Structure formats: C-alpha cells, structure tokens
Structure 1
Amino acid sequence: MMASNLDSASSNSSDVSQFQHTPSYCEENVYLLCKKLCADGVADVSDLFVVFISNENKHIPLWHQKASHRADGIIIWDYHVICIQRRKEGKAVDLVWDLDSSLPFPSTLPSYVSESIRPSFELFSEFQRVFRIVHAPLFLRYFASDRRHMKDSEGNWTSPPPEYQVLVAEDGTVHNLNEYINMSTKDVLEDVGDDSVNAVFTKQFGVLVGESQLEQFFSYISR
C-alpha cells in the first residue's frame, strides 16, 4: 500500500513491536500477524478474518494512522489491510489488529470503526470505502505476492521490501494481490444474511461489504 506522506509515530502499546512490520506492505504484515496470533495461542485461525479496505478510485481515508503528518492521524491510502478477530465466548467484543494504527493494539471493533473509519463523517463518493472480508484460513492458503506492485516503471522499489522471501500460494500462484484490492461500491452485499456468511467461509476472495455493514456482518457471524 502507498500513501501520499509517511511519518513515524509510536503505538499506544509495546505489544506491536512483537510483530513483523514492513512499511507499505500491509498485506504481508497481516499475513504474518495471523500466523503469529495462532502460533502464540492468542487466536484460533478459524476466528480470524483478513479485511482489505479500498475502492475503485484507490483513495480511502483512515484516521489514527502512524504514517500521517496530522494530529488526527488521517491519511489517504490506496488500500489498507487489517485483521479482525471474532470472539464468540460470552460477551467478548471482536478485536481489530492494525499494525499501522496508533490506536490501542488491538482495538475493539466498535472503537476502531468509530475512531479510525468514522462512518458518521460525510465523505465524497470517491472516498467511500469498501471492505473485502476474507476468512484467514483461505487467505493463508491462497494469497500470493511477488511485490511487483511496489516497483516503478524502471523496476526500482518504491518502498524497501521485506527481507524474507516472497509469499507463494499453496497452489503455486505467485501474485494475486490485485484480485484482493480491486473492489467497487456497486459490488457490495445487498444485505447481510446466511448466504453472505456462508460465502465468506467458502470463497477464496471473500465477500464485499459497505461501511454501514462491517459491524453488522461480524455481529451476524459471531452469533
């Protein structure tokens, strides 16, 4: 992912330092985050969902982002990726893991939506955000990136890549990032129901929801 400006900021929690983070490679950061949460016993992979945020214009605002120059932390990404952890026990609240956020790590889903997404803030249509929700087991199996999107027309890196090897899907696919980040407001679900919930557990590229449906979707699948 790329933004118009980059700046350093500290997280509200030292826990974030335990996770691999390469600036501008949020999709790979979340891939490794999912694996670490499972390896550390923090989450079961079946309760993790990878959420891509973008739109047809590749201009989406998020608040409280470390890369921002501004006091409110707002930045315009071409796309962003977070992890949402479903929590089914008792009255536990679903959690958002965002390595690029200055909010508490993790944040509760309602808090993250309120503070970072701010659905009540009126946006021009070109900034309306779409959320692609992908079940983590499917993401870890099928996602692949050879990082071609981070090179300019002359083959130079626009941002230094991670030092580890590129991520290759189990079926041998070497790059399919575009299929995750290409999305449009006209393709979002008409309503949240059993069909959409079944789809997120079976479709490689998950389901698309609008801003007003994100919390509703997770409330539905956490029943």
Structure 2
Amino acid sequence: MSLTPPELPQDAAYTPYWCEENVYLLIQSFLRNTSLSEIWEVFAVFISNHSKTVALWNQKLSKEPGQPVIWDYHVVAVLRPRKFSSNLHSWVYDLDTRLDLPVTWNSKLERSYSSFQSCQHRNNSLFRVVSANVYLDRFASDRSHMLARTPPGTLPNPNYLQPAPPYPPLRGPQCMSTHNLMNFVSMLSFNDYGDVFDIKGISGFFA
C-alpha cells in the first residue's frame, strides 16, 4: 500500500519571511478537504531552540549553495498517515525549501540537517509539534515581532523588516490574545501548544 500526498494547493498563499502565516493558511486549506483529513493527520511544526539560532540546509534564502540559513525559528506543515505501515511516509510542506514540495519527512530530515552533528550545540534544533486544530484555533499574531526597531529618542517606525502579507493579521477563533506567536516558538515543554521533541524524538514521531 502507498499513499500519494496531496499537491500544494494552487492558491496557496506565500509571503517570504512569514512562515508561520504561510503554514497557517496552508493547513486551513488542507482541513477544508474532508477526504484529506480522513487519511492524513495534519500538524504545524515549529523549529527553534533555546538560543533562537537553528541551522537549516537547502533553504531558498541561503546565501551560498550548501550553506545553512540560521533562523530564530522556522515553521513547516507535516502530513502523517492515520494508518501507519513500514512503506508509508509523513510528508513535509516547507514553502521556503529548495527540496521537493512536498518531501518525505526522512528525506527532509537528512537533507535539511545533513551537517547537523557538526554544528555547534547552540544551533541544534528542537521541534514543537502542534495539531492542526489547535494551531488554527489558538494561534494569533499582530506581526509586532517584525516591526523595525528605532533608536532611543526617535519617533516610532511602523515599517516591517520584511514586506507584510496582503491580508489582515491572523487570530484563531479561540485565542484571547492578539499575539501569542512566541508561545509556539518557545521550546519549553510546559505550555499548552503541542509537544516538544529533540531530533531523535521527532524522528520517531514522523518516521
């Protein structure tokens, strides 16, 4: 038995540097397809660490081929088959990758972390896995984390560090806050936004 992963929706929204919103809208699109939800479990996966310096290979924004990008965090969508067998795969949808879209979890792990063990410890990644419904219901961002900082004594600068998406900021229907992005980015295990894994644990969850 094999399962073909769904293609990226033709109308999938993409704004560079806004991975958490790209994934939010992608997951929203996936969950509108009830037949997809019957076959696949859908997750948002936040990749970060306690120092907010994670190394990812094969990213579009890498300055040189073969070199990693160092992010404070990154977010991807992952589809895991509801019925597992040895020849079924989980699939990763990373709109910022140079790899296939989607790509199997095992391939993504190998090729995004090909030099993982040679990195300094501060660049080792942790993974927060959030179920699709929790993410859609409880995530909110007012985009304040992307506002340009101004020197003391100057007038506030309302400009974003990178061009903002053309739609209004996102806020889940069950979210009381207007901005809780950093609760998802945090790799402290004791909060209500999914589960945190190291590289070994995440391999077991999706492999």
- Structure 2 counterpart of 1:177: 181
Q: How far apart are the structure 1 equivalents of 2:141 and 2:160?
A: 14
Query: In the alignment, does 2:137 pair up with 1:133?
Result: no
* CA–CA separation in structure 2 for the residues paired with 1:143 and 1:82: 15
- 1:96 alignment partner AA: V
- The share of aligned pairs that are identical, in percent, is 33
Comparing 21-30 with 89-98, which one deviates more in the overlay? 89-98
> Following the alignment from structure 1 to structure 2, what is the Cα–Cα distance between the partners of residues 16 and 183?
30
Change (3 A) 1:120 1:127: closer
Aligned to 2:200: 212
Distance 1:135 1:73 in 2: 31
Q: Which amino acid aligns with 1:215?
A: S
Give the Cα separation in 1 of the matches to 2:186 and 2:192.
14
The residue aligned with 1:10 is none
Structure 2 residue 103 is the aligned partner of structure 1 residue 107: yes
- Specify every segment of 5 or more residues in structure 1 that has no aligned partner in the other structure, as ranges: 1-13, 189-202
Higher-Rg structure is: 2
Alignment of 1:5-44 (within 5 A): 15=8, 18-40=11-33, 43-44=36-37
The 8 Å contact of residues 66 and 73 in structure 1, kept in 2 or not, is answered as no
Which residue does 1:84 correspond to in 2?
Answer: 78
| Aligned-residue offset at 1:15 | 4.9
TM-fit CA distance, 1:129: 0.7
- Report if the CA contact (8 A) 2:105-2:206 is conserved: no
1:164 aligns with 2:158: no
SS at match of 2:197: strand
Q: Distance in 1 between matches of 2:133 and 2:123?
A: 30
- Counterpart of 1:148 in structure 2 is 144
Alignment CA distance shift 1:209-1:143 (3 Å)? same
Partner SS, residue 43 of structure 1: helix
Task: Compute the displacement of 1:110 (Å).
Answer: 0.5
TM-score by length of 2: 0.83
Of Structure 1 and Structure 2, which has the larger fraction of its residues in helix? 1
Number of residue pairs matched?
A: 190
Alignment of 1:183-198 (within 5 A): 183=187, 187=189
Structure 1, 102-111 or 121-130: larger mean CA deviation: 121-130
Contact in 1 for aligned 2:53/2:73 (Cα 8 Å): yes
Aligned-partner Cα distance in 2 for 1:60–1:181: 12
Shift of 1:37: 2.2
Counting only pairs closer than 5 Å after superposition, residues 63-78 of structure 1 correspond to structure 2 as 63-72=57-66, 74-78=68-72
* CA deviation vs aligned residue, 1:66-117 (integer Å, no higher than 9, x gap): 1112112521111000011011345321101100001010000100000012
Using the TM superposition, give the Cα deviation of residue 213 of structure 1 relative to its aligned residue in structure 2, in angstroms.
Answer: 1.4
Deviation, structure 1 residue 218: 2.5
Task: Report the residue type matching 2:36 in the other structure.
Answer: A
CA deviation after TM superposition for structure 1 residue 17, in Å: 5.9
Structure 2 gaps of 5+ residues are 1-6, 150-156
Letter in 1 for 2:111: E
Residue-by-residue CA offset, 1:29-77 (whole Å, 9 max, x unaligned): 0000111223356731870111000112111110110111211252111
Task: Say if 1:40 and 1:178 are closer, same or farther in 2 by CA, change over 3 A.
Answer: same
The alignment status of 1:52 with 2:46, answered yes or no, reads yes
